[in-house]
């Protein structure tokens, strides 16, 4: 009987020892595990929230991290430059009938340095007023007809007629959205502006006159410096004062923010060298209007009501054009920390840009070439998600 008890005790001790060894081994194994042993789901969650630069850095940790980082990596797409080159100099356009009618529009992808061609007869006799989210706002002066056109899907959305006479005009988001609003502003007096609003599906425009106590003039030709940001429309006047329209409260104010100063002697067409955009809720102003100074980027500090000069772009790329401008992060290659202007040199070869990293223009000959990067008729537009069908 005593022997049987000893056997049972020995068995129990063996089980206990095995359990202790198992726990010890597990503990040692856990201690040996590193970052490379993280569960795949957790690793995907972490790497998907990283910026492009940090994602690339994470991908060199080990083979497993490289595989996961590549699987969730997102490279932002740059906008395309929609422009109207001299067809006589376009060696790629071979159909004379298309050239003559002026239906051929070219879309230049600066990331791939590739040009796409689209025939758009819907734009005959139209003036482009604004662009956002891949849509164009077009105006026919003879009939006062306004309408939206998606140049990639050819979808058209009509709007109530409105006579645009020295108005600035913009819209908040794609017209397919229920929150889309159009806004026009016209200077009708020393301290009075007429603000007109409309939305897709409306039968008429609503116009209200607003008084203000700061200078806010518009000059002929200096028409579109409009940005929609944080639910507000920001409009830059010809002397760089900033007007703000709140579409919910239906209020108009001119901010008491002194305009930033442009150093050096101004270019003859200085107003063409000013661009406004937004990035992550901040209003940005790009000055490229001096004969001697390089482009300068200012950020609006609404708390202190001042324009702050940005010393670095922090990886942001700006695409500046007369009608509307864009900002991007997480672009590939050498496109970071650049301002891209709305003009292509050597058709289909290179878009004029300025690098804040290298403090120089590309191509180099564009440095202070007066008017080289000014093309009011060209504009940046969001490309389609699937452009495999375009030539």
CATH number for the domain spanning 58: value is 1.20.1280
Q: Please state the domain count of the chain.
A: 4
Q: Is residue 99 part of a domain?
A: no
**What is the per-residue pLDDT for 174?**
97
pTM, 2 dp: 0.77
**What's the CA gap between 281 and 21, in Å, rounded?**
57
Q: Is residue 111 part of a domain?
A: no
Q: Is residue 183 part of a domain?
A: yes
Do 161 and 204 lie in one domain? The reply is yes
Among candidate residues 256, 291, 310, the one where a domain is terminated: 256
**What is the per-residue pLDDT for 232?**
97
Do 173 and 225 lie in one domain? The reply is yes
Do 220 and 281 lie in one domain? The reply is no
Q: Which residues of the chain have pLDDT under 70?
A: 1-36, 48-49, 51-53, 70-75, 84-102, 215-224, 263-272, 290-293, 333, 346-349, 365-376, 387-391
Q: Is residue 95 part of a domain?
A: no
DSSP 389: T
Residue 7 lies in domain: 1-29
**What is the per-residue pLDDT for 92?**
44
Do 147 and 215 lie in one domain? The reply is yes
Contact 183, 171 (CB under 8 A): yes
Do 252 and 181 lie in one domain? The reply is yes
> How many residues are there in the chain?
391
* Sign for the pseudo-dihedral over CA of 55, 57, 62, 67: positive
Listing DSSP states for 3-53 in one string gives: HHHHHHHHHHHHHHHHHHHHHHHHHHHHHH--GGGS-HHHHHHHHHTS-HH
**What is the per-residue pLDDT for 387?**
65
User: Which CATH number is 187's domain given?
Assistant: 2.120.10.80
Token pair of 295 as six digits: 């482009």
Do 271 and 384 lie in one domain? The reply is yes
Q: Is residue 97 part of a domain?
A: no
Q: Is residue 42 part of a domain?
A: yes
Q: Is residue 59 part of a domain?
A: yes
Cβ-based neighbours of 369, under 8 Å, separated by 6 or more: none
Q: Is residue 281 part of a domain?
A: yes
Do 7 and 23 lie in one domain? The reply is yes
Listing DSSP states for 242-308 in one string gives: EEEEETTTTEEEE---PPPPPPSPBPTTGGGGEEEEEETTEEEEEE--BSSSPPEEEEEETTTTEEE
Do 232 and 272 lie in one domain? The reply is no
Do 243 and 296 lie in one domain? The reply is no
Do 266 and 150 lie in one domain? The reply is no
Do 215 and 284 lie in one domain? The reply is no
**What is the per-residue pLDDT for 201?**
95
Among candidate residues 203, 228, 256, the one where a domain is terminated: 256
Q: What is the pLDDT of residues 329-379, one digit of tens each?
A: 878 767 889 999 888 776 556 788 899 988 888 877 655 554 555 566 789
Measured from the Cβ of residue 360, the count of other Cβ atoms closer than 10 Å reads: 14
Within 13 Å of residue 28, how many CA atoms lie on the same side as its CB?
Answer: 6
Do 239 and 312 lie in one domain? The reply is no
């Amino acid at each position: 009987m005593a022997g049987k008890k000893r056997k049972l005790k020995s068995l129990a001790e063996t089980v206990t020892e095995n359990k202790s060894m198992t726990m010890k081994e597990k503990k040692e194994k856990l201690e040996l595990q590193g970052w490379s042993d993280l569960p795949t789901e957790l690793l995907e969650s972490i790497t998907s929230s990283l910026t492009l630069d940090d994602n690339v850095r994470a991908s060199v940790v080990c083979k497993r991290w490289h595989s996961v980082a590549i699987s969730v990596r997102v490279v932002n797409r740059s906008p395309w430059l929609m422009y109207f080159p001299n067809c006589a100099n376009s060696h790629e356009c071979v159909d004379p009938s298309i050239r003559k009618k002026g239906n051929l529009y070219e879309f230049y992808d600066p990331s791939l340095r590739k040009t796409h061609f689209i025939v758009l007869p819907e734009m005959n006799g139209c003036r482009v007023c604004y662009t956002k989210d891949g849509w164009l706002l077009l105006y026919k002066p003879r009939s006062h007809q306004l309408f939206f056109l998606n140049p990639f899907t050819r979808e058209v959305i009509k709007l109530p007629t409105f006579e645009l006479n020295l108005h600035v005009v913009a819209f908040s988001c794609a017209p397919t959205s229920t929150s889309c609003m159009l806004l026009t502003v016209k200077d009708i007096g020393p301290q009075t502006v007429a603000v007109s609003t409309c939305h897709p599906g409306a039968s008429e425009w609503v116009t209200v006159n607003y008084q203000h106590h700061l200078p806010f003039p518009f000059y002929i030709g200096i028409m579109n410096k409009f940005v929609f940001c944080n639910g507000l429309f920001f409009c830059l006047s010809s002397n760089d004062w900033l007007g703000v329209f709140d579409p919910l409260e239906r209020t108009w104010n001119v901010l008491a923010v002194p305009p930033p100063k442009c150093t050096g002697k101004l270019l003859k067409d200085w107003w063409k060298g000013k661009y406004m955009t937004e990035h992550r809720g901040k209003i940005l102003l790009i000055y490229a209007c001096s004969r001697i100074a390089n482009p300068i980027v200012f950020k609006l500090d609404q708390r202190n009501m001042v324009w702050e000069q940005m010393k670095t772009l922090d990886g942001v790329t700006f695409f500046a054009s007369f009608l509307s401008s864009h900002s991007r992060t997480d672009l590939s290659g050498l496109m970071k920390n650049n301002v891209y202007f709305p003009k292509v040199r050597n058709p289909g070869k290179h878009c004029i840009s300025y690098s804040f990293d290298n403090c120089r223009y590309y191509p180099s000959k564009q440095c202070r070439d007066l008017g080289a990067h000014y093309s009011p008729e060209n504009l940046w537009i969001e490309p389609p998600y699937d452009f495999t069908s375009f030539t």
